Amino acid sequence: MNAVTPAPATAPAPATTPTPTPGPGAVRWRSLVSPPLPGVVNMAWDQALMARARRTGEAVLRVYAWAGPTLSLGRNQRARGAYDLGRAAARGVAIVRRPTGGRALLHHHEVTYSVTAPDAIGPDAIGPDAIG
């Protein structure tokens, strides 16, 4: 018979480290890990997080993956006539527009991140204990 021996009544509690209070002007960051999602859903998440940052001042580091091959086009990238939508679809490649700039990126079997933060974020907003 296996008996379980209870911990002594005087056993110390697990050590905890208090979370420092952010200084003036600092922003508390959140981290968000998303499962692999279709490109259109990933871009909707990024747009929603940007709107939330503007509205609430919240900053988020989001790490995510793509459910299938996806070509993401930069916000201001000229795309008309540059890509064959039928050929991409036949090859199983989705095409989406990013809410951010840059050129076309093919996402497949990778980990991607996005950072959303208020426009007026200062240099002291990111520190060793900023993300929680």
pTM of this prediction? 0.70
Residue range 23-38: mean pLDDT, rounded:
83
- At residue 6, the pLDDT reads 43
Q: Is the pLDDT of residue 1 over 50?
A: no
Looking up tokens 């580091």 gives 61
Residue 67 belongs to a domain? yes
Element (H, E) at 70: strand 70-73
Our count of domains for the chain comes to 1
Residue 97 belongs to a domain? yes
The CATH number assigned to the domain holding 108 equals 3.30.930.10
Residue 85 belongs to a domain? yes
Residue 9 belongs to a domain? no
Residue 101 belongs to a domain? yes
Residue 42 belongs to a domain? yes
Measure the N-to-C terminal CA separation of the chain; round to a whole number of Å. 44
- Tell the burial category of 2 from Cβ atoms under 10 Å away from its Cβ (0-12, 13-18, 19+): exposed
- For the chain, the average pLDDT equals 80
Range of the domain at 56: 29-116
Pick the closest to residue 47 from 84, 22, 79, 72 (CA basis). Answer: 72
Q: Which residues on adjacent β-strands are paired with residue 71?
A: 95, 106
Residue 98 belongs to a domain? yes
Tally of CB atoms within 10 A around 37: 17
Residue 35 belongs to a domain? yes
pLDDT tens-place string over residues 84-113: 888 999 999 999 999 888 899 999 999 999
CA-based R_g, the chain, Å: 22
